[in-house]
Amino acid sequence: MKTFILDADHNITVYTSQQDAANAVPAGDAFTTAAGLRAALKNYSAATAVGIWNSLTGVTPVKKFKDAATAAKRIFAEVQKLGGSGPVATDAPVAAPKTKRTPRATAKPVKPATKAGAGKKAHAQLTPGPRETSKTAQLIEMLRTREGATLEAICKKFGWQAHTTRALMSAGGSLTKKHGITVISEKVGDSRTYKITK
């Protein structure tokens, strides 16, 4: 049975079994059902559930949930779709890794085009790199520097919120899923730095 851990940084990590979760390094609230997630979310504000939901890949962002039960049910349904023993794209990366992290969840297959214009969208999803003038391309250049880039510097440059930036950098974020780029996250003191080593 899949077991999930919600930690203090609002990460949700999925494990293939309760034993794997019990041996996990990140401490937090373990849950195996939507009711368990609802109980874990009681330790946080309503905005936390919204932040977790909005940072999941492929969901329609929301401003708020009707109630805690709805939030837990919808978030749990999404994280159930992912494979085991890997971080879920939530509010922040799980921990500062010492080595490169490989993505654990497989990308969704592109569906065949069914109506006019859909083929262009599918083709765009398969492109290997971002446009040279895009924010993603600018971000990649920042991350390829020897020092990398701090969370604060990235947020300031692009006007992004911290939780959005952390989700983008996570193993389930778009840099990994769309472009195959693994981002290294390191925390020194109170500052988190991201970099690409390739």
How many helices (H) and strands (E) the chain has is answered by 9, 7
| pLDDT at residue 1 is higher than 50 | yes
pLDDT above 50: residue 91? no
pLDDT > 80? residue 139: yes
Which residue in the block uniquely carries the two structure tokens 């919204």? 50
Rounded to whole angstroms, the Cα distance separating 63 from 50 reads: 7
Has residue 117 got a pLDDT over 70? no
Judged against a pLDDT cut of 60, whether residue 92 lies above it is answered with no
Cα 7 to Cα 56: distance, rounded to the nearest angstrom:
16
Q: How are strands ordered across the β-sheet holding 86-87?
A: 28-31, 3-7, 12-15, 86-87
Domain ranges within the chain, ordered by starting residue: 3-87, 118-195
The rounded mean pLDDT for the chain is: 73
Q: Is the dihedral of CA 63, 61, 71, 13 positive or negative?
A: negative
Distances in Å between the Cα of 176 and the Cα atoms of 89, 114, 116 are 11, 27, 29
Predicted local distance difference test score (pLDDT) of residue 103: 54
Average pLDDT over residues 43-66: 86
- Separation of alpha carbons 41 and 27, rounded Å: 15
CATH topology of domain 118-195: Arc Repressor Mutant, subunit A (1.10.10)
pLDDT of 96 strictly over 50: no
Query: Greater confidence, 14 or 36?
Result: 36
Is the model's pLDDT at 86 over the cut of 50?
Answer: no
Percent of the chain as helix, strand, coil, to the nearest 5? 35, 15, 50
pLDDT at 27: 66
Q: Which of 98, 93, 82, 66 is nearest to 15 (CA)?
A: 82
Q: Is the per-residue pLDDT at 153 higher than 60? A: yes
- How many whole angstroms separate alpha carbon 40 and alpha carbon 175? 29
Per-residue tokens: 38: 């609802």
At residue 98, the pLDDT reads 47
Q: What is the Cα–Cα distance from 11 to 92, expressed in whole angstroms?
A: 6
Q: How confident is the model at residue 78 (pLDDT cuts 50, 70, 90)?
A: confident
Tokens of 56: 């999941």
Of 106 and 34, which is predicted with more confidence?
Answer: 34
At 73 the pLDDT is 92
What's the half-sphere exposure (Cβ side, CA atoms, 13 Å) at 134?
7
